[in-house]
Amino acid sequence: MENTHLSGASPSEIQAHYDVSNDFYQLWLDPQLIYSAALWNETEPEASLEQAQYQKLAYHLQQAQAQKAEYVLDIGCGWGALLSEVLKQPNIQQAVGLTLSQAQKDYFEAQPNLQSTPQAQEQAEVQAEVRLESWENYHPARPLDAVISIGAFEHFARPGMSPSEKQAAYTAFFQRVCEWLRPEGRLSLQTIGYGPISEAMKVKLSGLNQAVFPGSELPTLLELLAAADPFLELLQMRNDRHDYAKTCQLWRKNLRAAKATIEAQYGPALYKRYNEYLMASEMGFRLGHLHLYRLTFQKGKGLPS
Ligand SMILES: C[S@@+](CC[C@H](N)C(=O)[O-])C[C@H]1O[C@@H](n2cnc3c(N)ncnc32)[C@H](O)[C@@H]1O
């Protein structure tokens, strides 16, 4: 990995959270190891976590117009669930995922069924590539048709940044994505943000967040939109905070069911930390202190790539 200074969480801070162990996350996430808010359609409130996670991936693929895309980038690809869906798109030529977690990259590379699909193999031997690299160091070889980033923007600014430093970090992200996209290319972005809360509550939530996600600070909607506005057109925006509350509730149910195993293998302190973090997060989303934004952007026709 290039050793450039990153404006958000560092690789070691990311690995402190995501590299606990792949087996640990398998004990309480869904089978595809998707670690972000799922999506429940109003018509199917009883959908399982696994179904709702799949619906979330399908939503982002649709918003990014992945159906007609050839070159797609997943920023913060986790264990690779979205990448394997990208590979199933009919015109795909290249799917790249970026992560700062060595354990996630190793997991993806150990599972050939995630890296290519039978359809893709028949067509053109298309394979997905996971790179241990920050978006700040990535340079695509060609203009991209679509960028999708789910649950990673939460790591792109650090606690203690001044408002202008934070704004500069977010601006750099949107500027870079705009440079990478072809005209009319899409960005489908999902991130947690602070709701309308007092500064004192924000400090409290930021402290709780740092205890679990070191080196990471959440955006407000205004910070995010101000940074994106000079570069990308906003096409659609939703706040699905109740979906994240429900996701946290179901993750915590799984965590509690695996309590004995987790305590035996990883110690009671780790179980306690994750139990409390999922409980506090669920409460934060239910009360509206935390929001869950899903935003669709498009690059204008006239902007050069
Ligand atoms: C909460 S996980 C979400 C993973 C996946 N998108 C999902 O929904 O399951 C956050 C991901 O962002 C990645 N990440 C954090 N900072 C990053 C950066 N600067 N560049 C690329 N990836 C980053 C982490 O390594 C991790 O894969």
Task: Give the start-to-end residue ranges of the domains of the chain.
Answer: 11-299
Which residues of the chain fall below pLDDT 50? 2, 120-121
Q: How far is the CA of 122 from the centre of ligand 1 (A)?
A: 30
Query: What confidence score (pLDDT) does residue 6 get?
Result: 79
Query: What confidence score (pLDDT) does residue 184 get?
Result: 97
Question: How many residues appear in the chain?
Answer: 305
Residues linked to residue 189 through DSSP beta bridges, in sequence order: 149, 295
Return the SS3 of 152.
coil
Q: Which helix (H) or strand (E) holds 68?
A: none
- List CB contacts of 86: < 8 A, sequence separation 6 or more: 61, 66, 72, 74, 92, 95, 128, 148
Query: What confidence score (pLDDT) does residue 72 get?
Result: 98
Q: How far is the CA of 97 from the centre of ligand 1 (A)?
A: 9
Query: What confidence score (pLDDT) does residue 16 get?
Result: 85
For residues 191 and 224, the answer to whether their CB atoms sit within 8 Å is: yes
Measured between alpha carbons, how far is 1 from 16 in angstroms, rounded to an integer?
17
Per-position DSSP letters for 220-267, written without gaps between them = BHHHHHHHHTTTEEEEEEEE-HHHHHHHHHHHHHHHHHTHHHHHHHH-
Q: How far is the CA of 134 from the centre of ligand 1 (A)?
A: 9
Question: CA end-to-end span of the chain, whole Å?
Answer: 25
Query: What confidence score (pLDDT) does residue 61 get?
Result: 98
Query: What confidence score (pLDDT) does residue 5 get?
Result: 64
pTM: 0.94
Burial (CB count within 10 angstroms: exposed 0-12, middle 13-18, buried 19+), residue 93: middle
Q: Choose one of 2, 13, 14, 217 to mutate for the ligand 1 pocket test, by most ligand atoms within 8 angstroms of C-beta.
A: 14
**Tens digits of per-residue pLDDT, 158-175?**
999 999 999 999 999 999
CATH architecture, domain defined by 11-299: 3-Layer(aba) Sandwich (3.40)
Q: Ligand 1 site: residues with CB under 6 angstroms?
A: 6, 8-9, 14, 18, 34-36, 75-78, 98-101, 104, 134-135, 150-152, 155
